[in-house]
Amino acid sequence: MRLCRIMRPDDANIAGNVHGGTILKMIEEAGAIISTRHCNSQKGETCVAALARVERTDFLSPMCIGEVAHVSAEITYTSKHSVEVQVTVMSENILTGARRVTNKAALWYVPLSLKNVDKVLEVPPLVYTRKEQEEEGRKRYEAQKLERMETKWKNGDIMQPSINPDRQTKEPYTVSYSQSTLIHLVGPSDCTLHGFVHGGVTMKLMDEVAGIVAARHCKTNIVTASVDAINFHDKIRKGCVITISGRMTFTSNKSMEIEVLVDADPVALHSQERYRAASAFVTYVSLSKEGKTLPVPQLLVETEEEKKRFEEGKGRYLQMKAKRQAQIDAVPQK
């Protein structure tokens, strides 16, 4: 399955490259199409594939305005109630024909009945060309399932809004100085035909809030370097008021990690309380006007909770650093 479109000026971030949230939205659209097609490939109850999780996504190369984005998606594993989709994004310079990979992502979808969107249906089994493909896919499925359970245990965490919105009275480089919140009323243009928010819309809003936090902390141009696993805990209905909150959790010499939480308030449904809809960690880097990486001001942690989150972020950073080094070491030397 392949999607493509040219990148326009309204897709740009302040640095002039394509907004990371725009790319995430295209990735999700491709995943939703191919997984919905597969889940309706056999006779039975019709359904729509809903995004449940996005694995870590690295932004390998910036995409520029005027280039064509080619988004290709492939189903790589199915369990009884979920579908794994691998997506690759390539940019094409239409003047020279040059192409490069900008993003790779893995997404998990679940099929929801059109008659009852709270009912999860069974997924038609995928036919594998090699036995190893199914075994490798099962390992990925079990790993993401365990991580989702761990995230659910943390869902009681509340990000309190800043008491004093005047940043001139706060010390720079603290968590409270850069913490940001966006409130959005979910309208028809945000939703599928069935009245639920597109996963890509949520991801774009999350990236925007994380970008504001990063820009406030650095006061420079910033770009998305990677998005850690995004977990979608519950559906967001049309008419909900969603609050997207972001706070700095960790800084290394050249990167910063921002935690983003999405809470939904179904204002029209008095019987339902506000709930956690999604959560993620986003990593940004600071850039000069020439596009070169700049040092990141170190985060000043003040409370015990902030210190705890900083150490957890440091653990994630070191773990990913070690994983990248292992991948480099595994490449045969010429």
Q: Looking at 11, 190, 207, 263, which residue is catalytic?
A: 207
Torsion, Cα of 26, 99, 88, 225 (10° steps):
-80
Cα–Cα distances in Å, from 303 out to 170, 175, 265, 308?
A: 15, 10, 29, 9
128 C-beta neighbours (distance < 10 Å), count:
15
The count of residues in the chain is 334
Torsion, Cα of 31, 192, 82, 150 (10° steps):
100
Q: Looking at 11, 13, 228, 263, which residue is catalytic?
A: 13
Could you give the CA distance from residue 272 to residue 250 in angstroms, rounded to a whole number? 34
Q: Is 190 labeled as catalytic in the residue annotation?
A: no
The radius of gyration of the chain's CA atoms, rounded to the nearest angstrom, is 20
Active-site positions read: 13, 207
